[in-house]
A = this chain, B = another copy of it.
Amino acid sequence: MARPRKEQELDIARRAVDETIRLLAERGGFDVPLTAVAQAVGCTAPALYGHFRNKNALLRAVREEGFGRLYNEKFAVFEQMRGDPLGYLRDGSYAYARFALDNPTLYRLMLSPPQTLGASDDPWSSKAGRQILCLLLTGLRLCQERGYLPGADLRRYGFMFWSTIHGAVNLNLQNRRLDLAAMWDSTQSVIDSLMEMIAATGPTELPNNS
Residue from the list B112, B116, B165 in contact with A31, Cβ < 8 A: B116
B-contacting 9-mer, from A41-49, A82-90, A119-127, A140-148: A119-127
CB contacts (< 8 Å) of A54 on chain B: these are none
| C-alpha gap A134/B176 in the complex (Å) | 19
Interface core residue of A105, A164, A190 (most chain B CB under 10 Å) = A164
| C-alpha gap A28/B30 in the complex (Å) | 17
Scan residues 8-27 of chain A and give those whose CB is less than 8 A from a CB of chain B: none
Residue from the list B156, B170, B189, B193 in contact with A166, Cβ < 8 A: B170
CB contacts (< 8 Å) of A29 on chain B: these are 114-116
- Tell yes or no: A168 within 8 A of B by CB: yes
CB contacts (< 8 Å) of A108 on chain B: these are 112
- Across the interface, name the chain B residue whose C-beta is closest to A152: B193
Interface core residue of A30, A160, A174, A177 (most chain B CB under 10 Å) = A174
| C-alpha gap A55/B170 in the complex (Å) | 24
| C-alpha gap A184/B81 in the complex (Å) | 36
Residue from the list B122, B164, B170 in contact with A176, Cβ < 8 A: B122
Residue from the list B28, B111, B125, B175 in contact with A170, Cβ < 8 A: B111
Interface core residue of A113, A168, A189 (most chain B CB under 10 Å) = A168
A171 to chain B, nearest CB (A): 6
| C-alpha gap A186/B163 in the complex (Å) | 11
Query: Is the pair A167, B163 in contact by a Cβ cutoff of 8 Å?
Result: yes
Residue from the list B28, B163, B177 in contact with A171, Cβ < 8 A: B163
CB contacts (< 8 Å) of A115 on chain B: these are 28-29, 105
Q: Can you name 7 A-B residue pairings with CB atoms under 8 Å?
A: A105-B115, A122-B176, A124-B177, A163-B165, A163-B168, A166-B167, A197-B197
Q: A interface vs B, CB < 8 Å? A: 28-31, 105, 108, 111-116, 119-125, 156, 159-160, 162-168, 170-171, 174-177, 186, 189-190, 193, 197
